[in-house]
A = this chain, B = another copy of it.
Amino acid sequence: MPIEVALKPIGVFDSGIGGMTVVKELFTTVPHEAIVYFGDTARVPYGAKSRETVRRYAREDTELMLAHGVKMIVVACNTVSAVALDEVERMAGSIPVIGMIAPTAKEAVRATRSGRIGIIGTEATVASKAYEEAIAREAALQGKSCETFAAACPLFVPLAEEGWTNHPATHLIAEEYLRPLREHKIDTLVLGCTHYPVLLDVIQKTIGKDVTLVNSGAEAAKLVAQQISEPHTPYPIPHTLILVSDMPRKFQQIGERFLGRPMPEAKLVTWRESWVVT
């Protein structure tokens, strides 16, 4: 990789704060890389919105990443990865794009012994069936037979945002969402939303301790490390630029909880709008 490319940052974006769990993994797998993160906190959440709207937001998020001269784009949002990855790839041209779905499906198929894989995610991710398709492709490649069971968990995102990681209500809600998957006797569960690692303990306890949880952010971060050939790009102090479309201070507070360490001040980005009646 030429030095002028190596010096460029990795772009990471999400609908909001969830993608910071991916940044946390990148700090481990590619600690010497600079990162530009964008969280679209003025329009969060994406997971309950339509395919068309998510694709429009994804195009605008990608535009912002490209404007920052990134050398790679990590789509740290399962919803965007599920319904708009082709749009991001089209706009990125020769710049590599890493989505959440493919590396996570690969690891889930590798990890399962019984072939019974559960998938949890937002309504949009589950409705897209992107994980089912990726797991079927991977199962064929790895010569395994897999069956999938999916459940949308819309309240997990607001619970994670609120930091209710061990509240009795969170346990009840997890029980409601995960009971059908437990009854299907899955042995592997895909955490198909970057918010869910925040609720890892309650999810593991509810689904059962013998079920392997596959964290999409961690799998994507491993793939980033494989694709960045130089282990040490020559930043003297690798820096992280955090951009958000709203609430920079709240983002920083919750982000530090997600990262488990201090993070740089988040900067505000806004956009112009005008109504168009269609």
Instruction: List residues of chain A with CB under 8 Å of any chain B CB.
Output: 41-43, 48-50, 52-53, 56, 60, 63-64, 67, 154-155, 158-159, 161-162, 164, 167-169, 172-173, 176, 243, 245-247, 268-278
B274 A272 Cβ-Cβ under 8 A: yes
Known: A42-B43, A154-B158, A172-B168. Contact between A271 and B271, CB under 8 A? no
A273 with B276, Cβ < 8 A, contacts A41-B49, A42-B43, A50-B247 known: no
The reply to whether A162 and B168 contact each other, CB–CB distance below 8 Å, is no
Residue pair B272, A276 in contact (C-beta under 8 Å): yes
Tallying the copies of this chain within the complex gives 2
A274: which B residues are within 8 A, CB to CB? 271-272
- The residues of B that contact A272 with a CB separation of less than 8 Å are 273-274, 276
Task: Determine the chain B residues whose CB is within 8 A of the CB of A176 once the complex forms.
Answer: 167, 169
> Would A275 and B60 count as touching, CB distance under 8 A?
yes
Q: Which residues on B sit within 8 Å (CB–CB) of A56?
A: 270
> Does A269 lie within 8 Å of B276, measured CB to CB?
yes
Which one of B41, B49, B154, B246 lies within 8 Å of A42 (CB-CB)?
B49
Q: Is the CB of A278 within 8 A of B273?
A: no
Compute how far the CA of A253 lies from the CA of B275 in the bound complex, rounded to whole angstroms: 25
Instruction: Give 7 new A-B contacts, CB below 8 A, not counting A43-B43, A155-B162.
Output: A41-B49, A155-B155, A155-B158, A169-B169, A269-B278, A270-B275, A272-B276
A169 nearest CB across to chain B (Å): 4
Some 24 contacts from A to B, beta carbons below 8 A apart, are: A41-B49, A42-B49, A43-B43, A48-B247, A50-B246, A50-B247, A52-B246, A53-B247, A60-B273, A60-B275, A64-B275, A67-B277, A154-B162, A155-B159, A155-B162, A158-B158, A167-B176, A169-B176, A172-B172, A243-B277, A270-B275, A270-B276, A272-B273, A273-B273
Could you tell me the distance between the alpha carbons of A67 and B41 in the complex, rounded to whole angstroms? 28
Query: Which B residues are in CB contact (< 8 Å) with A161?
Result: 48, 154
CB neighbours of A52 from chain B (8 A): 246
The residue of chain B having its C-beta at the shortest distance from the C-beta of A157 within the complex is B158
Task: Tell whether, in the assembled complex, residue A269 and residue B275 are in contact, meaning their CB atoms are under 8 Å apart.
Answer: yes
List of B residues within 8 angstroms of A49 by Cβ: 41-42, 246-247
Residues of B within 8 A of A270 (CB): 56, 275-276, 278
Known: A154-B162, A168-B172, A173-B169. A53 touches B246 (CB 8 A): yes
Q: Tell me which residues across on chain B come within 8 A of A245, comparing CB atoms.
A: 53
Measured CB to CB, the closest approach of chain B to A61, in angstroms, equals 9
